[in-house]
Amino acid sequence: MSQAPRKESWDMRTAGFCSVVMVALLLAACGGSSKQSASGAETQKEADYYAIDQIEKIWHQAASTHDVNKMMSIWAPNATFNIGTETLSGAKQIRNFFTTKAAPFQPQNHWVSDTPAYKIRITVNGDKGTLYFECHYIDVKTKKVAVVVGADQNVQKINGKWLITNAAAATPSLTP
């Protein structure tokens, strides 16, 4: 009779030890999961920054090659675009502006569009963000800056793609 209680006592200690180990493993797994989630969120944020930065690159490629279709690929269908006192609403009005009025897209202008990297600013908050950059349009023939434009935009991830939802463009002022 003395051996039975010992065995039962040992089994209960073993069961208790296993329970402690299981709880420790679960807690460790939860901690690892939390770290993975944080790491995954950071990776997603970096991917979003990269995707938003591509808007600036596409803008400049489109302007340098007079490719209105490429330019329109970065705009949301119901976007607005403020230029001075004029507000353009929707893709049709914005396309018309680039086709008929925007100096970089005019056939007589052979400009290369560039942005100093240090003037690009990007923010991300979930599926919304902001993008600011300056366009330095350089005349290919004279190699002089023809026009400088600042573009300040609200961007949003729509159907998995970052697009401009609202933009304002103006000549930036130089401040010391």
114-124 confidence digits (pLDDT tens):
888 999 999 99
**Span 151-166, average pLDDT:** 98
pLDDT digits 0-9 by tens, 105-157: 999 999 999 888 999 999 999 999 999 999 999 999 999 999 999 999 999 99
Higher pLDDT, 28 or 106: 106
pLDDT at 41: 84
Q: Where are the domains of the chain?
A: 43-170
DSSP helix/strand/coil, 93: helix
pLDDT at 17 over 80: no
Higher pLDDT, 1 or 130: 130
The closest of 83, 65, 27 to 73, measured between CA atoms, is 65
Distance between CA atoms of residues 95 and 14, nearest Å: 74
Residue with tokens 């329970």: 19
Residues 6+ apart with CB under 8 A from 128: 154, 155, 156, 157
Question: What band does 26 get if pLDDT is binned at 50, 70 and 90?
Answer: very low
Q: What is the CATH number of domain 43-170?
A: 3.10.450.50
Kind of pairing between the strands at 111-114 and 128-139: antiparallel
Q: What are phi and psi of 149, to 5 degrees?
A: -130, 135
Position 23, amino acid: V
pTM of the model: 0.76
Phi-psi region of 170 (alpha: psi -120 to 50; beta: other; left: phi over 0): beta
